[in-house]
Structure formats: C-alpha cells, structure tokens
A and B are shown apart, each in its own frame.
Chain A
Amino acid sequence: MGESRKKSIIDNIPNMDKVKATKYIVRGITIALLFGIIMLTSASIAANADNWKNIADQENKMDYWDGDYGYNEYVEKSQDITQVTNWMVYQQVIIANIARVGVYIGFLFVFIGLMGFATNDRIDENTRKICLILAGVIIMGMLFTLMFNTAQIIIA
C-alpha cells in the first residue's frame, strides 16, 4: 500500500531539467521527420502514379509491336499496370495515415520538451515564454490538423 505510483511523463513535466527537455525535443523532431519523410514519399508515389502508368503502357505497346507477346497477354499486362497504378495511389491511404500518427507522436514529444523548458524556473523568463508560445503553436497545429483535414498554412 505504501508503494508510490510510477510517475507518468505528465507528472514529470514540471520537474524536467534542461537535458531531459532537450532530449524530448530532439527525439520528437527525429520521429516527426522520419514519419514526415515516409508521408511525403508515399504522397509522391501516389502523385506520380499516372506518369508511371504512361511509361508502363508505352513499354507494353512497344513489346507487343515487337511481337514479344500476343494480344491477350498485352491486355493482361495492361490490366496489371492498371492494378499497380491503383495500388500506387491507394497506398497513400494506408501509409500516410500510419505516418500521420507517427508525426503526431513526434510533435507530442516536442510539445512535452517545450513544456519542460516552459515550466523550468531555472531558465530566464523570456526563454520560458517563447517555449510556452511554441508549445501552444504546436498543440494548436496538431489539434487543427486532427480535426480539420484541410487545415493548412499558406505562406505566399
């Protein structure tokens, strides 16, 4: 009964030192970057699916004209190309959604790290304020993109 409950990350935020907070931020940014790259790669594959299809269709026609195979095989290959193209587009639904969770987890670590700085009374006031504002911006960004799929910032 006298056992103390294991402290969670949230319990530790007010007592977080600079080293821990920095580690959270660096790890968070690393995770967010990794999953962000995966997300962008997946989006790029989906966006270029039609370009790949044009190349594959042309190769298929050229092989047919060369007499490498007959019409029914040409049609089969053409159907395969269409299926692969559809998968290239659809994979974004699976991969981008998984990657999106990863990016949010990364942002959450950055948020915790920034909150660690913001609640550290051994750091000067202005730095703490900036960290609090940044943490707020990050959590607002996360909440907006979670709740509104089309939320975006346009810098022109």
Chain B
Amino acid sequence: MNLDLDKKMSAILLLIGVALLLITPVIGSALDKTILIYPKTEEEIDEDSMDEIKEAYIKEFKLIKNQRLIIKISVKYQNSSVHLRIVGKGNFEATDDKDAPTTLAAKNFVYSEYAIGEDPQNLVSSDNEVDLENDAFFYIEFMGDRTGTSLISVPGDYVIVVYGENLGLDDDDVLFDIEAMLDGPYDAGDILKIILPITGIILIALILVPKLNELIKSVREI
C-alpha cells in the first residue's frame, strides 16, 4: 500500500500515531465519567421517618451487570442525625410503609471516609447502614453485594432509603445533602482506551511499512 505522502505529512502522521499511544491513559481516565442520577441538593425529611418508611427520603434506581452506584452523602446541619440504607425493591415494596425503616433488609455496601496521608486500606469500611451527624461525609459504593471491601455485581432494582432524627428539642426537620451517580459498566473512557492505541498503531504501520519497503528496495538497487 503506497499512500504517496510527502515527508512533512508522514512525519506529522507518525507523530500523531505516537501521541495517540502516549495520551491514551490520560484521555481514558479523563473521560471515565459517571452519570449523575440525583444532584447534590439540600434534602429535608421529618424525624417521623425513624418510625415510618413513608416519611423517609426514597429514591429508586436500577443496576445492570457491572454497574456501580456512587452516593456522596453529608450532614452539615445542626442537630441532624441521618441514617442511609439500600434495599432491594422487592423487599421495599413488600414492607408496609408504616413500618420503621429499620425493618427493611439492608444490602451491603462499601464506604470511604477520607483522611489525607492515610493508607487507603485504613479509610474504607463495609456495612449495610451508615449513620451521619456533625459534618460527616461518606462516599458510598454499591453494586448489589460485597465480600470484605470488594464489590460484587448483582443487577436489579434497588431503593435508597434515608431516615433520621433532629437531636434538638423544638425542631423536627432533618437536613442532609445527597448526590448519586451511576458508574459503568462501559463509558467513553473505556472505549477510547481500546480505539486510540489501535488507531495509533495503524497510523505508525501505514507510515513505517512503506518507508521500510522503500529502504529495502533502495538497498537492493545499490
């Protein structure tokens, strides 16, 4: 195959090919984005949510194979004490909405509390419920189940349930911030991580193979 490219164009294409190989990890990671399903908002529930599911903060979501739910939840409001559970939709619908959220069969997840300089292994925990108050922030990862701090993918419909109480004497409002995202199973970053290096290798081969052929021919003609 002879592309009849001049030297300048060949050099540019060769550089692009090498650049594609080099920038693949950077671009792949940069585009490794998640889908926001619930934006970060100041949510308000009543402290009756401790006794009745219908008063709690409820959000449904669906997980497909190898998809992960990420929840960032924080409490920065005075006297708010918040609890979060993730339950299967079947179990949720089978439970009377006048029952307490603690009767729901909670699913296991993994969560991080960040501290700079600490070994990440010491910052991760796993549980089926998190309790927050006084400026607490948790980064929760959920795929359906877990073993230790590793996630296991169990596709299905799930429900986030947040309930809590106001520790003050006169107020019943419970405030918290929540943000939820779906990650994976494949995104633009994963696809580009495959396409970019292949394109780079093809470009390099398209330039170098004819050049090598020319070199071999010229040597034979000496």
Contacts and interface: CB of A to CB of B under 8 A. Distances in A.
Interface in A72-109: 72-75, 77, 84, 109
B215 interface: yes
Interface stretch (B2-10, B52-60, B89-97, B109-117): B109-117
Given A72-B110, A72-B149, A74-B120, A67 B139 contact: yes
Which interface class (under 10, 10 to 19, 20 to 34, 35 or more) fits A?
A: 20 to 34
A70 B141 contact: yes
A23 B222 contact: yes
B134 interface: no
Nearest to A20: B222
A24 B116 contact: no
Contact of A71 (B29, B110, B215): B110
B14 to A, nearest CB: 13
B139 A70 contact: yes
B103 to A, nearest CB: 28
B218 interface: yes
Interface string B131-174: 00000010111000000011100000000000000000000000
Give chain B's interface residue range (CB within 8 Å of chain A): 20 to 34
A25 to B, nearest CB: 11
A72 B114 contact: no
B117 A65 contact: yes
A27 B218 contact: yes
A84 B68 contact: no
B114 A71 contact: no
A109 B219 CA distance: 9
B141 A71 contact: yes
A64 B110 contact: no
Contacts of A20: 222
A77 B70 CA distance: 16
A43 interface: no
A129 to B, nearest CB: 24
B105 interface: no
B222 A70 contact: no
Given A61-B120, A64-B114, A65-B114, A72 B150 contact: yes
Contacts of A72: 68, 110, 141, 149-151
A135 interface: no
Contacts of B110: 70-72
A67 B149 contact: no
Nearest to B72: A67
A109 B110 CA distance: 63
A114 interface: no
User: What 5 pairs across the A-B complex have the smallest Cβ distances?
Assistant: A71-B124, A70-B141, A65-B116, A23-B222, A70-B139
30 contacts: A27-B215, A27-B218, A27-B222, A61-B120, A64-B123, A65-B115, A65-B116, A65-B117, A65-B118, A66-B114, A67-B72, A67-B137, A67-B139, A69-B139, A70-B70, A70-B110, A70-B111, A70-B140, A71-B110, A71-B112, A71-B120, A71-B123, A71-B124, A71-B149, A72-B141, A72-B150, A73-B141, A73-B183, A84-B25, A109-B219
